[in-house]
Structure 1
Amino acid sequence: MRILVVEDEKSIAEAIQAILESQQYNVDLAFDGEAGLDYILTDLYDLVLLDIMLPKMDGVAVLKRVRQLGIEVPIIFLTAKSQLEERVTGLDLGADDYMTKPFEAEELLARIRVRTRQSSAGKVNHLKLGKVVLDVDQRKLSTTGHEVNLSNKEFLLMETFLRNPHQIIPKNQLILKVWGPMDDSDYNQLEVFISFLRKKLRFLKADIAIKTTKGIGYSLEEVDPS
């Protein structure tokens, strides 16, 4: 299960990350509202912990934008005791819960369990474009009569593409979501894994393909497999 923590106080964010990772959650961190929104828009997360007071874009604005775009990921607000009005506004805009800082680790974990149980019943475990199906649980890509396993990074890339079909996704956004911050010397890893995915799509005789928009990024498009 993947959880995003959007919190500008690095020490708090890292403390939450340690708590969650001790319970075997996969955790990503964002330290401002704009970065948090970018992460959420990948639609890779099972739950978001979202602070209200954030630089660049506050938590209420992030939540409003996310719900306007139809993304229904459970969001728990992290608030200060004085932020009653913002809490009410957030709940009205579609936040699922809120926690007042400071909070106990056990309460946080309990709130997360409640929200993820409520959302898991309707969670889609397969993503599809054209004749290609991604099994999210098994991390397998298939067409009729053909199937391939995906490595972790291949899976994260393909999941991102299938959740955002026909959209050009910038290279730096893909790198950030799959690898996190990287040195320039490692930048070609994205191209390597895109090449792996293209070979697997050809093996599947897929009617979708990863297209390059030079200088910008990549998109997943339907094509004639012949």
Structure 2
Amino acid sequence: MLNLFLSAGMLTGFPLFAKAYGLSGSLNAYSVAATSDGGFALIGYTYSYGAGNGDFLLMKASSAGVLEWAKTYGGSGSDQGYKILLTTEMDYVMFGYTGSYNPFYYTLLIKTASDGTIQWAKTYQLYISGYGAGSAVVTSDGGFALSGQRVNDICVIKLAPDGSVQWAKSIDGPQGENPGCIIETSDGGFVVVGQTASWGSGPSDFIVVKLASDGAVQWARVYG
């Protein structure tokens, strides 16, 4: 049995509570978000429940860490959830990859109501992993921005609130780049970070790219 563990603490560093959720089998948690009722939503994946060989696992806990419900999402292939986002309506958006709905393990985005009921699910030609390669953010217009890898390049995809693609931008280099985190900036643009083998002084350097709200590259900096 593997347990999921959730801990909350005060500013002093002393814990308010610590909870382990001992569901049977293999469970993995990657991301947590605070909910409007003072509780928490956790996203990860499980091989022990659901439809197939790994499924998204969404768990809702109260402000005291008491498990309220847990739901799985996925198909017969391997599906793994890595990040959870909250929309302005306090719905959930789960970010991960799928082997069930695309044979190339593309990105899967699932939007649910606050009770975990699916509203929509869509796949995108973007490669990610649970170890920092790729990320997602809710944008000020109610949509989303995703970072990931496409053909060995960093790629950013901007989505409308319904998950439809508005634009996609690749940071092309001759040697290959790996994506990291993405944030929205105050001017409606984006900053994405990652790793580059195409520019810089070494075989692998740190890259920061600033994009305008339409995806145009405004500047890029390499450190290393």
What is the TM-score of this pair, normalised by structure 1?
Answer: 0.30
Structure (1/2) with the larger helix percentage: 1
What is the TM-score of this pair, normalised by structure 2?
Answer: 0.30
Structure (1/2) with the larger strand percentage: 2
Higher relative contact order (CA 8 A, sep 6+): 1
